[in-house]
Amino acid sequence: MKEKKIASEERNQEKLANGDWVMAEFYATWCPHCQRMKPVVEEFKKLMVGTLEVVEVDIDQEPALTDFYTVESTPTFILFRKGQQLWRQSGELSLERLEKAVKGFKS
């Protein structure tokens, strides 16, 4: 199990550092706000197919990434382009707000 966790963390680290357009959601399974965001994130993933990749990072399973990006609350969303943080927001967000963040940088 530990090897799987390390592989997942390394894969996510690679995506966040080198992916063309990536939206990361840092979440926790025990977080009620994160649970309410689940359907929004799933819909956002569908809308963004071909535009950007959505990476979900469980803060309890991937503490090194959580610390590296100084995530202090969940959920936290960070938009990356080739490793550079372009936008960041914590808390519950609407689907429209997530789309607007991406369109603000990709247009």
H runs (alpha helix) in 1-107: 2-18, 32-47, 63-68, 95-106
Catalytic residue check, 59 = no
Catalytic residue check, 56 = no
Given the residues 22, 34, 40, 59, the one annotated as active site: 34
What is the C-alpha separation between 42 and 82, in angstroms, rounded? 23
Please say whether the beta carbons of 36 and 6 come within 8 A: no
Q: Phi then psi for 58, rounded to 5 degrees? A: -80, 115
Given the residues 13, 15, 31, 69, the one annotated as active site: 31
Residues known to be catalytic: 31, 34
